[in-house]
Chains A and B, each alone.
Chain A
Amino acid sequence: MTGLPLTLAVKELRHDWRGSLCFIAALVGVLAPMLVVLALKNGFIGTLIDRLVEDPSNRELLAVGSGAYDLEFFETIGERGDVAFIVPATRSINTVANSVRNRPKRNLERAVPLIPTAQGDPLLGDLIINKGEAALSETLAEELELAIGDTAEMIIGREIDGVSQNAIAELTVTGIVPERLYSRYAMFISLPDLLAIERFRDDRTLTPETWRDGAEEQDSYASFRLYAERLEDLRALEGALTDAGAQVRPRAENATVLLLFRKNLDILYAAVALIAAAGFWAAMAANLRGVVERQRVSFSFLDLLGLSDRARKSIPVFQSLILVGLGICVTFIIVLIILVTINAGFAGAPQQMVALLGVWDVIGTLILGFVTALTASAWAVLAIDKIGTEEVLRHA
């Protein structure tokens, strides 16, 4: 029998509507601030950290100084599951072009950093830079007024016995790296082109005419570019590289700190939410128990009239579910208004919502409310179990 207990539960709540409203207000008072804080955590801090996590630069481990890393090193490190990308590099002195020029526009930029790239570069996505090609950072491309399909002239200089020599490579621009991924001037080139630069500067037998002819691989490299799969992998990977004889440091030291901050923030919020939920649970259980005490004679009389124990006990359960359900509905309405207001107030913030609740936050709240409603009514149910017909017979 569900209909009659549900009807009785609803009618009593409606009759004692002031008490019901107070109860709902108490729930809203606890739940709404928690959800607003959660929305701010999700929106403001979450977006901040998500950006950090999504930015591949924060997953880069920089090789410190020059070493001698053989092919086995690259093979071993490259096979690790926590390594997203690794490409050999030359000594840092050879990773700078004397200048890069847009000949038709007569634009020239001096001392342009060169970055070796290969397939799977997190900064380039699916773009592959072959020998004779280059990708420019967005800022450099704008400065030189170069676009995809244009030709960038890379000028590499050296000095032999006091005589300056320049070698020129014409590279086809095949990609532009967005500013959000790489904000400074840089040109991404293939490893063979980078090796050619190093050879040209080191080997006086090579001439500006022949400098790009030669081996496209070496047995050993002075440095590398390396990205971890995830931010969380940085520490372990750093240790593994150190063990392998490579000194590295994270490009963004504070990225791991922020990651830790996010974890701690999650724990802190969970603790506060747990305390709030426990407090509300206790208040709700006491309130429902109080209702049973006030209606003790009615419950006894319902027993006398033959309403089954199960039906009588289900009344506070229904009331608990109804009150919590209404409380959650009112909370969602209020929180929605607050979130819309907050987000409208911070409309200038780029590509992000300051306060945000996800579907799982809503589902989680509903599940938590449902569980709270059911468990909090247990005390009232136990109390009804002890109310028999004799109470109404002796009631005078």
Chain B
Amino acid sequence: MSTAGVVHIRDIGIRLGDELVVMVDTLDMDAGEVVVLDAISGAGKSTALGLIAGALPAENMSDAAIHRLSGIDITPDLPRDRFSGPTKLGFVLQTNILIPYLTLSENIDLPMTISGDTADADWRAHLVRALGLAGITERMPTEVSVGQRQRATIARALLGQPDLLLLDEPVSALDPVNVGQVERLIEVLAQDANSAVILASHQAARPAFADARRVGHKTEERGGVLYSRFADTYAGEAAA
């Protein structure tokens, strides 16, 4: 078990109302490693990704709780820019969110613009070319297809060559023909960037990411509260 990798998490969670708690019990990842959050729709995969990324306020669920990203211990008081930013975290969300009033190019560059970092020009060109966005980057999001929008969000997430890439159902809006192609692209480009990848998906049995390690999921009810728990140690249980 690695403790000095990209992700090292023990016993963190978040309460969503009075009746649901989403927890990440254990998760360890090294650079370039890929894991799949394998759970049914509605299990709280998006919330778990937010927890892991430190985008949601995590609660320590035990005395042994640890939340460490890229070697940085995340505490409630730690400013986001200390552990976040495009060189540390990249997001691809299922609704392929783009800022509607910015061009694809401006959207791709936005995280770097916010952080004040400078993108590697060759890597940017490689991303744009590999994702089939050359020639359309000056278009507005409403002027391109759903698939092109999704590829632009992938380019945006990978531009800073982040330590950790979080994918939340990244191909759910695509037609089946494009799904495999886009997933393979993500896999290859993430490898090029040496990013650790967490894929949240309820269709985990596809060819791309087929060999990836699974993070299992289970639910249990205690005192009228439903605990939705993710852990890489549950992989066998989930598969069972």
Q: Which residues does A use to contact B, with CB under 8 Å?
A: 4, 8, 11-12, 14-16, 295, 297-298, 301-302, 304-307, 389-390, 392-396
The answer, yes or no, to whether B47 is at the interface (CB within 8 Å) is yes
B55 with A394: CB separation less than 8 A: no
Tell me whether A306 and B84 are in contact (CB under 8 A).
yes
Structural contact, A393 and B47, CB atoms closer than 8 A = yes
- Please, which residue of chain A has its CB at the minimum distance from the CB of B166? A393
| Interfacial chain A residues near B94, Cβ < 8 Å | 396
Cβ-defined contact, A389 with B56, below 8 A: yes
Are B56 and A390 in contact, CB atoms less than 8 angstroms apart? Answer: yes
Inter-subunit contact B102/A11 (CB<8 Å):
yes
Contact (Cβ within 8 A) B113 A4: yes
Q: Decide: B50 and A393 in contact? CB cutoff 8 A.
A: yes
* Interface set, chain B 7-50, CB cutoff 8 A to A: 46-47, 49-50
Q: How many whole Å from A45's CB to the nearest CB in chain B? A: 47
The answer on a CB contact under 8 Å between B50 and A395 is no
Which chain B residues (106-145) contact chain A, with CB distance < 8 Å?
106, 110-111, 113-115, 140
Q: Are B101 and A16 in contact (CB under 8 A)?
A: yes
With CB as the reference atom, state the residue of chain A lying closest to B172: A396
A396 proximity list for chain B (CB < 8 A): 46, 94-95
Ranked 8 nearest A-B pairs via Cβ:
A15-B101, A389-B55, A12-B101, A393-B50, A11-B101, A393-B46, A301-B97, A305-B111
Contact assessment for B114 and A306 in the assembled complex, using a CB-CB cutoff below 8 Å: yes
B101 x A389 contact (CB < 8 A): no
Please report B residues at the A interface, Cβ cutoff 8 Å. 46-47, 49-50, 55-56, 80-81, 84-86, 91, 93-95, 97, 99-102, 106, 110-111, 113-115, 140, 168
Q: Which of B47, B101, B115 contacts A14 (CB under 8 A)?
A: B101
Chain A contacts for B84, CB-based, 8 A? 306
- With A and B bound together, what is the CA distance between A389 and B80 in angstroms? 12
CA distance A283 to B195 in the complex (A): 48
In the bound complex, what is the Cα–Cα distance between A394 and B41 (angstroms)?
A: 12
Could you say which residues of chain A place their CB within 8 Å of the CB of B47? 390, 393-394
B99 adjacent to A306 (CB under 8 Å): no
Q: Which residue of A11, A295, A393 contacts B49 across the interface (Cβ within 8 Å)?
A: A393
Residue pair A15, B56 in contact (C-beta under 8 Å):
no
Decide if A395 touches B95 in the complex (CB within 8 Å): yes
A–B Cβ pairs within 8 angstroms, 14 of them: A8-B101, A8-B102, A14-B101, A15-B100, A295-B100, A302-B114, A305-B91, A305-B110, A305-B111, A390-B55, A393-B47, A393-B168, A394-B46, A396-B46
12 further contact pairs, Cβ within 8 A, besides A12-B101, A305-B91: A8-B101, A297-B97, A301-B97, A301-B99, A304-B55, A304-B91, A305-B110, A306-B111, A390-B50, A390-B56, A392-B93, A395-B97
Q: Cα distance A17–B114 when bound, in Å? A: 25
Contacts of A298 in B (CB 8 A): 97, 99-100
In the bound complex, residues from chain B placing their C-beta under 8 Å from that of A295 are 100
Tell whether, in the assembled complex, residue A306 and residue B101 are in contact, meaning their CB atoms are under 8 Å apart: no
Q: From residue B45, how far is it (CB to closest CB) to chain A in Å?
A: 10
Chain B residues contacting A392 (CB-CB under 8 Å) are 93, 97
User: Which of A8, A305, A392, A396 has the most CB atoms of chain B within a 10 A radius of its CB?
Assistant: A305
Q: In the docked arrangement, what's the CA distance between A389 and B55, Å?
A: 6
- Tell me if A306 and B56 are in contact (CB < 8 A): no
Chain A, Cβ-Cβ closest to B81? A306
Q: How far is the CA of A311 from the CA of B177 in the complex (A)?
A: 41
Question: Are A395 and B93 touching (Cβ within 8 A)?
Answer: yes
Q: Compute how far the CA of A390 lies from the CA of B84 in the bound complex, rounded to whole angstroms.
A: 15
Taking CB atoms, residues of chain B closer than 8 Å to A15 are 100-101, 140
CA A392 – CA B97 in complex, angstroms? 8
Q: A298-B100, A301-B99, A306-B84 are in contact. Are A393 and B93 (CB under 8 A)?
A: yes
Nearest CB in chain A: distance from B51 CB, A: 10
Contacts of A305 in B (CB 8 A): 86, 91, 110-111, 114
Question: How distant is the Cα of A395 from the Cα of B50 in the complex, in angstroms?
Answer: 12
Q: How far is the CB of B152 from chain A (nearest CB, A)?
A: 13
CB distance from A193 to the nearest CB of B (A): 86
B201 CB to nearest chain A CB (Å):
13
Rounded to whole angstroms, the CA-CA distance of A356 and B136 in the bound complex is 53
Bound Cα distance from A306 to B93, whole angstroms: 16
A8 to B109, CA, bound (A): 13
Chain A contacts for B46, CB-based, 8 A: 393-394, 396
| Cβ distance A1 to chain B, nearest Cβ, rounded Å | 8
A4 to B94, CA, bound (A): 26
With a CB–CB cut-off of 8 A, which chain A residues contact B100? 15, 295, 298
Q: Which A residues touch B49, using CB under 8 A?
A: 393
Contacts of A14 in B (CB 8 A): 101
Complex: how many Å from CA A240 to CA B140? Answer: 79
Distance to closest chain A CB from B223 (angstroms): 24
Which residue among B91, B97, B101 has the maximum number of chain A CB atoms within 10 Å of its CB? Answer: B101
What are the residues of chain A within 8 A of B55 when measuring CB–CB?
304, 389-390, 393
A87 CA / B102 CA spacing, docked (Å): 80
Contacts of A304 in B (CB 8 A): 55, 91
CB closest chain-A residue, reference B99: A298
Residue of chain B at shortest CB distance from A295: B100
A302 to B111, CA, bound (A): 9
Measured CB to CB, the closest approach of chain B to A250, in angstroms, equals 66
Chain B min CB distance to A99 (Å):
88
Residues of A within 8 A of B140 (CB): 15
Select from chain B the residue with minimum beta-carbon distance to A3.
B113
Please name all residues of chain B whose beta carbon is closer than 8 Å to the beta carbon of A302 when the two chains form the complex.
99, 114
Q: In the bound complex, what is the Cα–Cα distance between A295 and B101 (angstroms)?
A: 10
By the criterion CB–CB under 8 Å, are B50 and A306 in contact? no
User: Complex: how many Å from CA A176 to CA B72?
Assistant: 95
Contact at A307–B114, with CB atoms within 8 Å?
Answer: yes
